Structure 1
Amino acid sequence: MMRALWSASSGMQAQQLSVDIISNNLANVNTTGFKKNRAEFKDLIYETLRRPESPDLLPGAAAPVGLQVGHGVRPSATARDFSEGNLQPTDNPLDVAIEGPGFFMVERPDGSLAFTRDGSFKLSLDGTDRILTTSNGYYVLDENESYIIIPEEYTDISISADGMITAVAEDGTVEELGRIGLVKFSNPAGLLAVGNNLYEATEASGEPIVKDDDQAPGYGTLLQGYLEMSNVKVVEEMVNLIVAQRAYEVNTKAVQTADEMLAQANNLRR
């Protein structure tokens, strides 16, 4: 009975984690560039009461199957789904969406690199120059990991599909001001989410591979005046929430049943 109690309690903890992750997905249904998570589980260690090859009651015979009892479940990973979200038009020239698997590069205040799918960029003043930043003020980097500077006198900012930023100078000429840097990873699922729509590279994700050729595959193209929305599907998450809730209820029922059986055993009389 005690084994049943612990197994059912591990199931309740697992489903609670699943509900936590689903709740976070639903909370970020309108977060720009958000990628949904899902919980993955593995069964726990088994107690082997009899191995399949052990002798059975008859001399010389072998049991065709073993006898094992499991000890519940444990979380193994939270897998992030990097499928693309819907594109929402904004008519803002500084809003950029990535059509493809690439990431923008940004520099945080401590000088470290981070990566994002959130293309809601802004202009931050630095003297007479304007620097392209994220909503949090982190600098957006070009293909050479340098800041993208747009002088104050330049107007009509345009961003091409390959990330080239052009603007109109005072004399009416069109000038190239830099190319927004895009990176890709060998294993995007290994990226570490750190909040603020940012990810960090890890040993599991591999080092960022910067796009240095317009024709390089696997990065995607940019779309000015659009933002990529969250890839969370509300109906799908609500169904997952109901499934997790029912699984939690079943595990509580197992705890109650084991408790009742223990109570009946305690009440036995000779």
Structure 2
Amino acid sequence: MDRLIYTAMTGASQTLSRQAAVAHNLANVSSTGYRAEEHRLRAVQVNSNAQQKGLPTRAFAVDASTHVDFTPGPMMHTGRALDIAVQGNGWIALQMPDGSEAYTRNGNFELNVNGIVQTRNGIPVQGDGGPIAVPPDVKLSVGVDGTISALPESGAQNTVSVIGRFKLVSPPDADLVRGEDGLFRMRDRSAAPTDERVKVAAGSLEGSNVNPAEQMVSMISLARQFEMQMKMLSTADANDKAATQILAMR
């Protein structure tokens, strides 16, 4: 009876957490550069301090880890100069307000009033020596290695100048952790080194790698699993009442 109650109770609780993760994935089906997440569960035996410990029949189902699917998403051509997509493995570095670095696959960038390249949320993009500043009245182009070139729109239009380069990194997936803001960081909070092998595609964006059909099937499966676990609790309660009545009759 104990094993049934503990397993069903904790299993139902963690099933709700997995449903929340699936719902979050479905909400980001159209989010640029989003990486799907999955909660992994494991069983943990309940330890007792009593002298008579009895049989080890009680176990909790706990959230062991949050797995991130790093599979690249589909490429979408936009033709916009400040839209870039990382090809294969790699990340674009951002400069956070506290001076640390964060990493993203969302290359949908813009210029602020001071000509600084930033994300849609106002976070500056990290260059070779800090934020990338773009002079006014120029036409931008981005090379496959992340180099940003500027061509004047007036005057001598045959002079191309390099104004900066996106910092592109490729740390091991196991060293990255997703923050509450959706950006990834190194587990030790260090700055990943620049990786010259990372390439980008200008005028394109990477879509979310969430498979909506797969996530919907997971949501239905989790809902049925939750119903089964609640049914198990109801069955345990009914069995307990029946056993109490039999003992009372004696």
TM-score, normalised relative to structure 1: 0.82
State the match for 1:118 in structure 2. 106
State the match for 1:151 in structure 2. 135
Query: Structure 1's 250 and 229: CA in aligned 2 closer, same or farther, altered over 3 A?
Result: same
State the match for 2:36 in structure 1. 36
Task: Work out the CA distance in 2 between the residues paired with 1:206 and 1:153.
Answer: 36
State the match for 2:194 in structure 1. 210
Equivalent runs, 1:57-206 vs 2, <5 Å: 69-126=57-114, 130-142=115-127, 144-155=128-139, 157-169=140-152, 170-172=155-157, 173-188=159-174, 190-195=176-181, 197-203=182-188
Q: Give the Å deviation of 1:206.
A: 6.7
Residue ranges of structure 1 left out of the alignment (5+ in a row): 48-66
Q: Which amino acid aligns with 1:36?
A: A
Is the 1:187–1:206 contact (alpha carbons within 8 Å) kept by the matching residues of 2? no
Task: Work out the CA distance in 2 between the residues paired with 1:28 and 1:184.
Answer: 23
Q: Give the Å deviation of 1:109.
A: 2.5
The structure having more radius of gyration, on CA atoms, is 1
Query: Structure 1's 188 and 178: CA in aligned 2 closer, same or farther, altered over 3 A?
Result: farther
State the match for 1:25 in structure 2. 25
Listed one character per residue, the Cα deviations across residues 145-165 of structure 1 (whole Å, up to 9, x for unaligned) are 42212111322x111111111
Q: Give the Å deviation of 1:194.
A: 2.9
Task: Work out the CA distance in 1 between the residues paired with 2:187 and 2:217.
Answer: 32
Is the 1:29–1:234 contact (alpha carbons within 8 Å) kept by the matching residues of 2? yes
Is the 1:186–1:206 contact (alpha carbons within 8 Å) kept by the matching residues of 2? no
| Partner-residue secondary structure (3-state), 1:75 | strand
| Partner-residue secondary structure (3-state), 1:97 | strand
Q: Which amino acid aligns with 1:9?
A: M
Listed one character per residue, the Cα deviations across residues 40-98 of structure 1 (whole Å, up to 9, x for unaligned) are 01112178xxxxxxxxxxxxxxxxxxx85352411101101111011112121111111
Give RMSD over aligned pairs: 2.0
Is the 1:39–1:78 contact (alpha carbons within 8 Å) kept by the matching residues of 2? yes
Number of residue-to-residue matches in the alignment = 239
Residues 1:229 and 2:213 are matched in the alignment: no
